[in-house]
Amino acid sequence: MAVYTDIAEADLKWFLTEYDVGSLLSYKGIAEGVENSNFLLHTSKEPLILTLYEKRVEKSDLPFFLGLMQHLAARGLSCPLPLPRRDGALLGSLSGRPAALISFLEGMWLRKPEAKHCREVGRALAQMHVAGAGFELKRPNALSLDGWRTLWEKSEARADEVEPGLQNEIRGELDFLAVAWPKGLPAGVIHADLFPDNVFFLGDQLSGLIDFYFACNDLLAYDVSICLNAWCFEKDGAYNITKGTAMLEGYQSVRPLSGEEIAALPVLSRGSALRFFLTRLYDWLTTPEGAMVTKKDPLEYLRKLRFHRQIGSAAEYGLSL
């Protein structure tokens, strides 16, 4: 459930007077996502998404997120567009939370993506990386090497409750990545969370990318590794090389990977698997029972991490060398 803050109809109607969107017809909470409170609004002009930014999102980061969506949309990427208020600001306040109105994007996310969908995702990710060039605001990736250490320190003492031996395994992995993490690869704005529920399709046609609230500046190939982890494994944990091949071909049809990026892909994939393992582990250990948030199994990403340790070259992901 992703409605942490409820809103009163009278307050919402007052909030909408600051925008040129017509009158409110109806609204309802959206029960997907984990970071913010989201509502689908129907107004006399158009459907819209209302987002209330919760405590896990820093208010100082919001100009980056909202400005990035504007920048990408202006360069032809299909993504939600924040609506300006009558005073030109992109951000308002509702129910004690920073709030923004976002354009409604047609489409649905896929529960069972196929290789053809992975190809479209790879292409769209590369288009985003190209379109992000020239965006002047910067946001460091708080969930990279140093951030992983910080997250791990919050969970380390209880890690063996999840699986015996986990403490030593993750300590060793963090030490390895601290030494092996690549430097000097092409960098820019990355999505950093392009999971299936953040990509909309109309039939087999990709209609847009959503949820840019982890976006940051980092290695572009790291974003590719996140997508390999998110899209190319089956529910039984097996890596689907057909999907991986399609994903990488789609990406390279827009932005070819350099030789250095290709060589680094196994290490980057280990890092992205560890990143999502650690955030899931922390939530698994700290989310109270009965909370209106569905906890995600951290062991899914531990299995992916172990898979990547066995990879000798990017060819094993389906990349033509």
pLDDT, tens digit (0-9, with 9 covering 90-100), for 158-204: 999 999 999 999 999 999 999 999 999 999 999 999 999 999 999 99
Distance from C-alpha of 22 to C-alpha of 42, rounded to nearest angstrom: 10
Structure tokens at 306: 């172990």
The H or E element containing residue 51 is: strand 47-52
pLDDT at 23 (0 to 100): 95
Bridge partners of 216, per DSSP, are: 190
Contact indicator for 141, 217 with CB cutoff of 8 Å: yes
Residues 266, 273: Cα–Cα separation, whole Å: 11
Per-residue model confidence (pLDDT) at position 37? 87
pLDDT of residue 287: 73
3-state helix, strand, coil in the chain (%, to 5): 45, 15, 40
CA 318 to chain CA mean position, Å: 23
| Distance, CA of 105 to CA of 206 (rounded, Å) | 11
Q: How far apart are CA 204 and CA 110, in angstroms?
A: 10
DSSP per-residue codes, 169-220: HHHHHHHHHHHH---S--EEEE-S---GGGEEEETTEEEEE---TT-EEEEH
Share of the chain above pLDDT 90, in %: 88
Neighbouring C-alpha atoms within 13 Å toward the C-beta of 202: 6
CB 139 within 8 A of CB 215: yes
Axis-axis angle for helices 145-155, 166-180 (nearest 10): 170
For 317, which DSSP code? G
Residue 2 clears pLDDT 60, i.e. is over it: no
Q: How far apart are CA 101 and CA 92, in angstroms?
A: 9
Burial class of residue 211, CB neighbours in 10 A (0-12, 13-18, 19+): buried
> Which whole number is the average pLDDT over 232-243?
96
Q: Which residues pair with residue 220 across a beta bridge?
A: none
Tens digit of each residue's pLDDT (9 = 90 or more) over 7-58 = 999 999 999 999 999 999 999 998 765 678 899 999 999 999 999 998 778 8
Residue 144 DSSP symbol: S
Assess contact for 239 and 312: CB atoms under 8 A. no
Give the per-residue pLDDT at 57. 81
Identify the pLDDT of residue 270.
Answer: 98
CA distance 184 to 221: 11
Whole-structure pTM value: 0.93
- Calpha distance 318→209 (Å, rounded): 24
Which amino acid is present at 145?
L
